[in-house]
Chains A and B, each alone.
Chain A
Amino acid sequence: MRAVCWYGTKDVRVENVPDPKILNPGDAIIKITSTAICGSDLHLYDGVIPSMKEGDILGHEFMGEVMEVGSAVKKLQVGDRVVVPFCISCGQCYYCNHQLWSLCDNTNPNAAINAKLNGFSGAGLFGYSHLYGGYAGGQAEYARVPFADVGPIKIPEGLTDEQVLFLSDIFPTGYMAAENCNIQPGQIVAIWGCGPVGQFAIRSAYLLGAEKVIAIDNVLERMAMAQQGGAAVVSSDEDVHEILKEMTGGRGPDACIDAVGMEAHGSTYDVVKQVVKLETDRPYVLRQAMRICRKGGTLSIPGVYAGFLDKIPLGAAFAKGLTFKMGQTHVHRYLEPLLRLVQDGKIDPTFVITHRVALDEAADAYEIFAKKTENCIKVVLKPHEQPPPALERRARELESLPSEEIAMELPRSKRLHEK
């Protein structure tokens, strides 16, 4: 089959690899009809996540059709159409029983090594480094899905792939980030990062009753999309602290969401330290959020951090009695309720897609997404479709431009204070 393989920093290749096989009785093999590239994949692409090996198959946001099931699989049947959560969970351990699916005890074959670093290991993840199990990912024509009766959710007739694909990760991730804020009536939520996770966090915060959402980024088309979701936007190039204070009547946001993670831009200090490996992560956003968050407020962190952070103002967090919530998303917990929101028309997750390409175009797509060229916000790969001829592709690219132009027309100061 064809698969997207990691070979190093900024080096992914689409290659022929053997087809996956059933390896355990609870496994299923899925024929992948749609799969996406995630901001988390960019951390791998940029080489800041340890324990990747050359040839590893990437991808953790995927869906498709069940081709084959192992002897212990009871609920899934060949032919079922399913979305697969990015974390692999056994359904039997203490953590699974307590809805803490991404902390599953039994799915990471390399848990002992992970525990040396983190104290204890979380669940195995698809396509996300050997510390997280080294599982082959879903940016491929087929994938092996362990514990197939526990994770994959069957999709009812009448919904397109693109309506449900993001149940695999970014919709639940944005939703859990907002839920972790414990939003009360009248509360203001500030969200750093208008990438796909930030976009879903904005919409989820409103669904959960936020009074106002303020979104921070400096990529125009992403800020425009945040505005379309009802957020007031602030440029991260400005004095975020002062502007947020002003926009919240001097109180600070009741809750802050860091939907950026370990590769925040804006701090030369962190860039240098990360490059010379004196620091694993660039916690620029985290510091900002800790300082501006309202007293007694909550900091929700869906953005990925992987190691050791410098100059974290824990004193500020302590002085203000902040609550911290974070972690890999417990995707399984959100599958049913969020599918229902899609079915009821409360949200249409397709809004975030800007690029649809064949799997064979993945190397290009990674570059476009990483550099944020062509107004790229979210890429969906189609493993069983052929790449279109070059001309047709160019026409499609041009087509995806217009609506964001509006944001570019707005004068900078107006954009800043838009409510």
Chain B
Amino acid sequence: MPTRTNHLPARPAVRSGTGKKIVKACTINKSPEELFRFWRRFENLPRISRHLVSVTEISDMKSHWVARSPADNTVEWDAVIINEHPNNLIAWESTPDSEIKNAGSVRFEPAPAGQGTEVTVSLEYVPPAGKLGAMIAKLYGEEPELQVEDDLNRFKALMETGEIPTTEGQPVGGDQKTTRRKRGAK
């Protein structure tokens, strides 16, 4: 796959200084190729990210994202890939006509001494004003850093072991059953 850099939109989705940025890294005991292959199919991402409902690839470069928001509503936007280096980097951002301004990238670098691959995820979003803004803020949870770290942990577990650790659906004593189910559904 050749390296491609799309024509950058006249105005980036998240202008510098206007957004919130989260950067998280982890090391995964797999090759950059395997990890890149999974991530490049954005349709895989809802498996590792709890707040994504679906991602649909419209074309090779363009995709449609649906995310959960509070009160079981969903929010949607389109994203395009703006930079891609095979087995090393994918960067995307929301299209200019999207209400939800956000951008992201993921980088895969070999870790020292055969420890696999260092994966660095960077997400940026503009918390818009008003009702929508509140929804977006909630989208990433009260603690967005924690959510992204959680997603990255799930990515790592899935890649290294083929499954994501869970306790959802396990037995609990009496009164907790109902509370836990509610919590699980978010």
Chain A residues at the B interface, C-beta cutoff of 8 Å: 1, 3, 5-7, 13, 15, 17-21, 23-26, 53-57, 72, 88, 90-94, 97, 105-109, 111-113, 115-116, 124, 133-136, 140, 144, 146-147
Cβ B165 vs Cβ A94 within 8 A: no
Are A54 and B173 within 8 A (Cβ)?
Answer: yes
How far, in Å, is B131 (CB) from chain A's closest CB? 29
Residue of B163, B165, B174 most packed against chain A (CB within 10 A): B165
Least CB distance, B150 to chain A, in whole angstroms: 4
**B153 interface hit (Cβ, 8 Å):** yes
| Contact B149 A136, beta carbon cutoff 8 Å | no
| B176 and A55 form a contact (CB under 8 A) | yes
Evaluate whether A92 and B171 lie within 8 angstroms (CB atoms) in the complex, with A106-B160, A112-B149 already known. no
Q: Is the CB of A136 within 8 A of B171?
A: yes
Contacts of A21 on B, CB cut-off 8 Å?
A: 169-170
How distant is the Cα of A72 from the Cα of B162 in the complex, in angstroms? 9
- Docked Cα-Cα span, A135 to B165, in Å, equals 10
Determine if A113 and B146 form an interchain contact, defined as CB atoms under 8 angstroms apart.
yes
**A and B contact pairs by CB, cutoff 8 A, 11 listed:** A15-B174, A17-B172, A18-B171, A24-B165, A72-B162, A94-B29, A106-B161, A112-B149, A112-B153, A133-B167, A136-B172
B residues less than 8 Å from A88 (CB atoms)? 165
Question: By the criterion CB–CB under 8 Å, are A124 and B165 in contact?
Answer: yes
Tell whether, in the assembled complex, residue A25 and residue B162 are in contact, meaning their CB atoms are under 8 Å apart. yes
Closest to A97 in B: B29
Min distance, Cβ A85 to any Cβ of chain B, angstroms: 16
Nearest-Cβ distance from residue B169 to partner chain A, whole angstroms: 5
Q: Given the complex of chains A and B, what is the CA–CA distance between A72 and B161 in angstroms?
A: 11
Q: Mark B164-186, 1 if CB is under 8 A from A, else 0.
A: 11111111111111000000000
Contact yes or no, B170 A23, CB < 8 A: yes
Residue with the greatest number of chain A CB neighbours at <10 A, chosen from B171, B172, B177: B171
Contact partners of B168 in chain A: CB under 8 A: 23
- Contact present for A57 and B173 (CB under 8 Å): yes
Q: Does B53 contact A (CB under 8 A)?
A: no
B residues less than 8 Å from A13 (CB atoms): 173
B27 cross-chain contacts in A, Cβ below 8 A: 94
Q: Could you say which of A15, A112, A136 contacts B150, with CB atoms under 8 Å apart?
A: A112
Give the residues in chain A near B174, CB-CB below 8 Å.
5, 15, 17, 55
Residues of A within 8 A of B177 (CB): 18, 55
Check if B156 sits within 8 Å of A106, measured CB to CB.
Answer: yes
Contacts of B153 in A (CB 8 A): 105-106, 111-112
Is there contact, CB below 8 Å, between A93 and B162? no
Q: How far is the CA of A13 from the CA of B160 in the complex (A)?
A: 38
- Contacting residue for A144 out of B156, B160, B163, B170, CB 8 A: B170
Cβ-defined partner of B167 (8 Å) among A1, A3, A92, A109: A109
Can you name the residue of chain A whose Cβ is closest to the Cβ of B146?
A112
- Across the interface, B169 reaches (CB within 8 A) one of A23, A90, A93, namely A23
B44 within 8 A of A: no
> Contact at A109–B166, with CB atoms within 8 Å?
yes
Chain A residues with CB under 8 Å of B173's CB are 3, 5-7, 13, 15, 17, 54-57
Q: Does B6 contact A (CB under 8 A)?
A: no
A56–B176 contact, CB under 8 A? yes
For the complex, what is the distance from the CA of A97 to the CA of B115, rounded to whole Å?
11
Please tell me if B157 contacts chain A, counting CB pairs below 8 Å: yes
Q: Which residues of B contact A57 (CB under 8 A)?
A: 171-173
Contacting residues of chain B (49-72) with chain A, CB-CB under 8 angstroms: none
Q: Using known A-B contacts A26-B161, A93-B160, determine if residue A55 contacts B175 with beta carbons closer than 8 Å.
A: yes
CA distance A13 to B174 in the complex (A): 10
Closest to B168 in A: A23
| B170 x A20 contact (CB < 8 A) | yes
B 14-68 contacts with A by CB, 8 A: 27, 29
CB distance from A34 to the nearest CB of B (A): 20
A3 touches B169 (CB 8 A): no
Chain A neighbourhood of B162, CB < 8 A: 25-26, 72
Q: Which residue of A lies closest to B153 (CB)?
A: A111
From A72, A93, A112, give the contact of B163 (CB < 8 A): A72
**Once the chains bind, are A92 and B165 in contact (CB under 8 Å)?**
no
